[in-house]
Structure 1
Amino acid sequence: MSADNQTPEKNIVRLTGRLVLRTFGQRSKSEHLGVYLVCDQKEYLIRPAGANPFMNNPLMKLAGKTITAEGYIVDYVFLARSWAEEDSSPDTTI
């Protein structure tokens, strides 16, 4: 089941946190370097909504920076529809 198949428009949330690179699925066939959004209360694997989960994540280049992202949560994945670096003006929208 793909997380992208569930697009609950009414459940759109806005989160602010720091992007961190960590190993996902350690010691499994799915092991890879993942991008996590680390917020005050929780952390989520993050990727752009509609993006192929097996391709490079464009958010990887923002690792270490704080962003505000808008999207929806499916299990442990935050599917970002848009995001912006904190203290920067331009938005990046998919």
Structure 2
Amino acid sequence: MSADNNKDKQPGTVTMRGRLALRIFGMHSKSEHLAVYLATDDGDYLIRPAAGNPFMENPLMPMAGKMITATGTIVDYVFLVTSWKEVNDAV
């Protein structure tokens, strides 16, 4: 994970880099479903668009396995992203 402290961003906004992974969320509960996580060097975060409906399919799901850089806010274990882009693995 890398945090970018750009002064143009809103307070609490971070930029992180990691690989998107599909995993089961809420195993053995009524909330169990396949979810998208951002796996970083500093930990894994459930990731979804900040403006998206949490009960609809995550638009990041087709990018599973790819490296991305994303900007947003972290609320508990969820990274609510406002923007993201695919990056090269070698970067």
Report TM bin, short chain. 0.7 to 0.9
Name the CA distance, whole Å, in 2 between partners of 1:60 and 1:48: 11
Q: Please give the alpha-carbon distance, in whole angstroms, between the structure 1 residues aligned to 2:82 and 2:39.
A: 17
Amino acid at match of 2:19: R
When the two structures are superposed, what TM-score results if normalisation uses the length of structure 2?
Answer: 0.85
Flag structure 2 segments of 5+ consecutive residues without an equivalent. Answer: 1-9
Deviation at 1:50, TM superposition (A): 1.4
Q: Which has the higher helix share?
A: 1
Secondary structure, in 3 states, of the residue corresponding to 1:61? helix
Cα deviation code 1:47-70 (max 9, x no counterpart): 000111010000000000000000
Structure 1: unaligned runs, 5 residues or longer? 1-8, 88-94
Structure 1 stretches (4+) deviating beyond 4 angstroms?
Answer: none
Structure 1: how far apart are the matches of 2:84 and 2:51? 14
Across the aligned residues of Structure 1 and Structure 2, the Cα RMSD in angstroms comes to 0.6
Aligned to 2:33: 32
How many residues were matched structurally? 79
Show the counterpart of 1:45: 46
Identity %: 62
Task: Give me the TM-score of the superposition, normalised by structure 1.
Answer: 0.82
Counterpart in the other structure of 1:4: none
- One-letter code of the match for 1:30? S
